[in-house]
C-alpha cells in the first residue's frame, strides 16, 4: 500500500510569509506526527494529531500550527516565517496514538528554505 | 527526561567488515527503543525496535540491535557491511512522560568504503 505522502517536496519562501505543508498518512493510520529536522537541532517533535485532535505538542512557538481532517490527512502551517525555520519537515503516521509501542512511518519530507 | 545519545558523529567501515553504531539511553521506566535510517534527501525508514523480550532484536536489511539493560545501551549491528548501508542512522526512544513522542539521538553518519 502507499506510504506517507508529503507535499510539496521542496519550497522556497521569504521572511514574513506563511507556508502550509500537507501530509497524507498510510491508509488506515489515524495518527499523524510532525517533526522538524535541522543540522543544528536534529529531529525535533512539533505535534501529534489523532482523530482530528491534537494529542501532543512540542516546544515550538505559536507560529507553528497544525490540523487533521476527518480522512486523517494533516496540514501544518508556519506563519511569519523566519530564516531559522529553514528545515526538512517530516510527517509520520502510525496506527494508534503515540501512547502505544508501534513504530512511526515517515514520509519523504518537505524541504523549506526561507530567504 | 528521557533521552538517547549517539556518541559517534561518524563511523567508517570497510565493506564486508562488521559494523556497530552505538546508542545509549536514559529513561525512567521501561525503554521502548527504535532505530531508523535516513538516506540523502529522503525520510526516515524504520529498521527495528525493542519493546520487551529477547535482548537481540532482528530488523530490516540484515541489521540487528542488542539491548543491554545494565549498560543502558541499544547498539545497532550488522555482521557484514555493504556500501549501500552508507546513510544517517538515528536511535530513538518513546517518551511516555511526554505523550509518547519519539526522542531522537543526534544521528550517526555511517560510511562504508569498498
> Is the CB of residue B75 less than 8 Å from the CB of residue B92?
no
Q: Is A73 exposed, middle or buried (0-12, 13-18, 19+ CB in 10 A)?
A: middle
**A window 59-98, beta carbon within 8 A of B:** 90, 92, 97-98
Residue B100 to residue A43, Cβ atoms within 8 A: no
Question: What is the pLDDT at residue A100?
Answer: 65
The rounded mean pLDDT for chain A is: 93
Residues 6+ positions from B86 with CB-CB distance below 8 Å: B110, B111, B112
pLDDT tens profile A87-97: 999 999 988 76
B108 to chain A: closest CA residue: A42
The angle subtended at Cα B103 by Cα B23 and Cα A85, nearest 5°, is: 120
Question: What is the pLDDT at residue A1?
Answer: 64
In chain B, DSSP finds a helix count (H) and a strand count (E) of 0, 12
All cell numbers assigned to B7: 556518541
Cα–Cα distance for residue pair B15/B11, rounded to 1 Å: 13
All cell numbers assigned to A34: 510532525
B34 to chain A: closest CA residue: A103
B33 Rama class: left (phi>0) / alpha (psi -120 to 50) / beta: beta
User: CB-based contact (8 Å) between A46 and chain B?
Assistant: no
Cα–Cα distance for residue pair A14/B22, rounded to 1 Å: 39
Question: What is the pLDDT at residue B97?
Answer: 78
User: CB-based contact (8 Å) between A108 and chain B?
Assistant: yes
Residue A42 to residue B105, Cβ atoms within 8 A: yes
Question: What is the pLDDT at residue B52?
Answer: 84
CA distance B14 to chain A (A): 26
> Is the CB of residue B90 less than 8 Å from the CB of residue B38?
yes
User: Is residue A101 pLDDT above 70, yes or no?
Assistant: no
Sign, Cα dihedral of A55, A103, A84, A72? negative
Cα–Cα distance for residue pair B5/A27, rounded to 1 Å: 33
Query: Which residues of A fall within a CB distance of 8 Å from B108?
Result: none
Query: Quick check: bond before A8 cis, omega within 30?
Result: yes
Q: What is the CA radius of gyration of chain A?
A: 13
User: Is residue A63 pLDDT above 90, yes or no?
Assistant: yes
Closest by Cβ to B51, choosing from A4, A58, A101 = A101
pLDDT tens profile A30-51: 999 999 999 989 999 999 999 9
pLDDT tens series, chain B, 114 aa: 789 999 999 999 999 999 999 999 998 888 899 999 999 888 999 999 998 888 999 999 999 999 999 999 999 999 999 999 999 999 999 887 777 788 999 999 999 999
User: Is residue A108 pLDDT above 90, yes or no?
Assistant: yes
Amino acid at each position: 500500500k502507499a506510504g506517507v505522502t508529503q507535499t510539496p517536496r521542496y519550497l522556497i519562501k521569504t521572511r514574513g510569509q506563511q507556508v502550509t505543508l500537507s501530509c497524507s498518512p498510510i491508509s488506515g493510520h489515524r495518527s499523524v506526527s510532525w517533526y522538524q529536522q535541522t543540522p543544528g537541532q536534529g529531529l525535533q517533535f512539533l505535534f501529534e494529531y489523532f482523530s482530528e485532535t491534537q494529542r501532543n505538542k512540542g516546544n515550538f512557538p505559536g507560529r507553528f500550527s497544525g490540523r487533521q481532517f476527518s480522512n486523517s490527512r494533516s496540514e501544518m502551517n508556519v506563519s511569519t516565517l523566519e530564516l531559522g525555520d529553514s528545515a526538512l519537515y517530516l510527517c509520520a503516521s502510525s496506527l494508534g496514538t503515540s501512547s502505544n509501542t508501534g513504530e512511526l512511518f515517515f514520509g519523504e519530507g518537505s524541504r523549506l528554505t526561507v530567504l | 527526561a528521557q533521552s538517547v545519545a549517539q556518541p559517534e558523529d561518524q563511523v567508517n567501515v570497510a565493506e564486508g567488515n562488521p559494523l556497530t553504531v552505538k546508542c545509549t539511553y536514559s529513561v525512567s521506566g521501561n525503554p521502548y527503543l527504535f532505530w531508523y535510517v535516513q538516506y540523502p534527501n529522503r525520510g526516515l525508514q524504520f529498521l527495528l525496535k525493542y519493546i520487551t523480550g529477547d535482548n537481540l532484536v532482528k530488523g530490516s536489511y540484515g541489521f540487528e540491535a542488542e539491548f543491554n539493560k545494565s549498560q543502558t545501551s541499544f547498539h545497532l549491528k550488522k555482521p557484514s557491511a555493504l556500501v549501500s548501508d552508507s546513510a544517517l542512522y538515528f536511535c530513538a526512544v518513546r517518551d511516555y512522560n511526554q505523550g509518547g513522542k519519539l526522542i531522537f539521538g543526534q544521528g550517526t553518519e555511517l560510511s562504508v568504503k569498498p
